[in-house]
Structure 1
């Protein structure tokens, strides 16, 4: 058994937030049918290089961007602008448990594929819309992309080097933070709606917005602003309310040191040759360290610069001070812990043979994640799905 192997998901989403949510549902066992435009399919199939290439012909295939968010799905090719395509979607939606879409506000209403229309043929349908700004408000009709949402939602204002230092200025996060977090929140909302349907017998409409999610992800920074009235600023790799909690220069690179309590700080101070810091009133508590950040951090840096990263990491680990090296992506997948946890998986791809994919982090003891389907080709399963679901 798989956790969601009785759930049929009709996936009308493209790009990243929607496909990320439906991939999670597929990983959990749901039957996810991805609806794509004939020929081109999902836009991200062309968002490269790099592209997956056919080992025999060398011809370029799908971009890695598409491949990261579409495993454990089947693909059907339909033109929903035609009456025939619309009728097929309605027929599939009548049998679906979940529908996920990320068209512009009102984009599917003109085809009769909006929630109001489809809930009449399937009152149990959980219908999730993902947009940049939600279904109402002055920006509702505006397209939303991750980069602009990180800017508008405050993420870039708190991410980047401090003013006055080299490289200072607002920075986006290197991954599509707004898209991915919206996909996660959408998955949570879908699962909650399915659970409620078990009691009510009714589906419901879910309105997910990238901006809403990005603002929610401000988390402690938002609450800090509400309480203090002070606008959070960029601190580089530092932390607004924990010190020391940042990267430190070493003789041969950098090491992240993440002190979470006063005991850990006392042990860090001792290992760096300054046990007196642990009892100094200016540094003995976290609140005091935050207040004296400007004098404490340079003193710590002066000591870490004398040690090689690996030697310092081993020493701090031996005295239970949290720390870690800054890995490049290739180094991540060579980490023994990453290998042991199976965070790189392979699936058989119809064109490329064996395809490496990043694994799901979900670990369920009785219904483990499996990787049964590689990211599909455009329309690869059209005949199969229509025969199975609609008898055509």
Structure 2
């Protein structure tokens, strides 16, 4: 088997997204810092966070059929260009002292919309770029890409924000445009032709929902992912406020999230090598219990450095979950349905994020950062218990056997 890095189109796609992901982490770190520096309100920061994640709730479901129907290459390119140009309005607003929370909400909403379309198009296109036997490795490399960007982007975002509030957003805007250039060089066809005439949009979206609902293992997995996504989305803002209350500077907060990203990067590297050693049940149950055990420690941590190390342990196990689940989906789900199935799943798993961001702002306002940490810890404990007793997860087949059985069925057709 040839090295994945000899696959020209995968290397181009991956490399361009390294740049874009790094820029995204830079601005993601700087955005709550900018809101808190501008208004001093955790609730405003929660509103901006909710606006940025709202597209996951309202756009994922219709985006899936469109990703299967439209030209995926053009979706990828348009998402990068629109996202970059939109973000570049922020530094100009800062320089002219015209920035408002309303503008920030609009900018992050459009960014989130581009993220939804790009993410679904990339997920659906990946099986067309790499052979099935290298799909898990490619997904692990993408995990490492995102985690590595978090490792470098978080401290860089805090540092650049300390230099000038506009700089992180200028850097991110330019990174989008650089990634768009890499996409122009792709050669491969990124989708299979549809098997028949296009369905109405609502019926096509319902096809993805029916597929997800009919697969008990995928359905149970998505519910658990939704809970953990909500917890960690809320935790991001909680940690910013908690670290700030303990005297952390913007650079210190960036370092804290950099440690968080380092754990994710190490986890992504490990996941690419060890994912075949774990069953579905072992991954889904075990990781939830790891998170349930670690989150309460954040309330007891005495410094941002300690919080970053605890966050790194949380992030270390996350990539294994993603590699196992999304490899299963990429192999089992027919590619012509993959965009719709991914969008249905993303509606469940990412659609909770705007509510989580708002909840974080409210919890911080009502009971403070320590109370918020304990509340999120209780939610995570409930998810771990639910994973342990779930009939669908308890009866899940080993991952390797499931993929072999699926491949055999396809070969027989």
TM-score of the alignment, normalized to the shorter chain, above 0.5: no
Higher RCO (Cα < 8 Å, 6 or more apart): 2
TM-score (norm 1): 0.25
- Greater percentage in strand: 1
- Greater percentage in helix: 2
